[in-house]
Amino acid sequence: MSDDISIRHELRCGDLGRIVSLHGEAYEPLGGYGLRFEAFVGRTIAEYVLDNDACGQIWLAERADRLIGCAAIALRDSNRGQLRWVVVDAAERGRGLGKQLVNLALDYCRDQGCDTVILETTDGLPESQTLYERLGFTVTSEAVGELWDGERPLIIMEMSLT
C-alpha cells in the first residue's frame, strides 16, 4: 500500500456523507446500485449513529484528504460485531487496502471481546466475497430478501474469533 494513504477512525462532520458518496460512486457502474442503493447506505449509516449510538468504529482511508476507502464495525448484542460499509474507490483497488481495512475491523472486534463477526452482502460482488472468504468468513445463510431495489439474494457470512 502507498505511503501517502492515511487511515483514521475519529469521525468528523461530513464523514458520513462522504462514505455514502463513495458507495454511490464505487457501486453505480455495477448496475443495480444506483440512487436507491446510495439512499440505502445513507439510511444504514444514519441508523448506526442515531439508533446504535455509533457503538463500534469506522475506519476511513484517505489520500490527500480524499476518501478512498472505508470499513466499519457496528457492535451488536451477544458479543458480535457486524462488518459494514466496506468499499474501496475503483482506482485504488488491487493494492491491499480493502484487506487492510477489514483486518483493522477484525482486530477491533477481538479487542472488544467479540466472539463472532457477521456481514451481509449480495450477489454480483465476487471480489468482496473472495476477500471475506480468504480472511476466514463462511457463508451461513443465503436467501432472497427485499433490499434497496427489490428482491435480491441476501448472503450472510460469519467468522468465529474464538
Beta bridge partner(s), residue 153: 144
How many domains does the chain divide into? 1
* 122 contacts: CB under 8 Å, gap ≥ 6: 147, 152, 153, 154, 155
Q: Kindly state the percentage of the chain with pLDDT values over 90.
A: 73
pLDDT computed for residue 108 by the predictor: 97
Q: What is the mean pLDDT of the chain?
A: 92
CATH of the domain at 106: 3.40.630.30
What predicted TM-score, i.e. pTM, was given to this entire model?
0.92
Q: How far apart are CA 108 and CA 102, in angstroms?
A: 10
How do residues 63-81 score in pLDDT, each as one tens digit? 999 999 999 999 998 899 9
Confidence of residue 147 (pLDDT cuts 50, 70, 90): confident
Question: Residue 124 pLDDT more than 80?
Answer: no
Q: Which residues of 65-94 are buried (b: 16+ CB within 10 A; e: fewer)?
A: eebbbbbbbbbbeeebbbbbbbbbbeebee
The pLDDT value recorded for residue 151 is 81
Query: pLDDT category, 2, cuts 50, 70, 90?
Result: low
Residue 80 cell numbers, joined: 458480535
In the predicted structure, residue 138 carries a pLDDT above the cut 90: yes
Q: What is the pLDDT of residue 22?
A: 97
- C-alpha to C-alpha distance for 62 and 60, rounded to whole angstroms: 6
pLDDT digits (tens, 9 = 90+) for 13-67: 999 999 999 999 998 888 778 898 999 999 999 999 998 888 999 999 999 999 9
Structural domain span for residue 132:
5-160
The pLDDT, as a whole number, for residue 150 is: 74
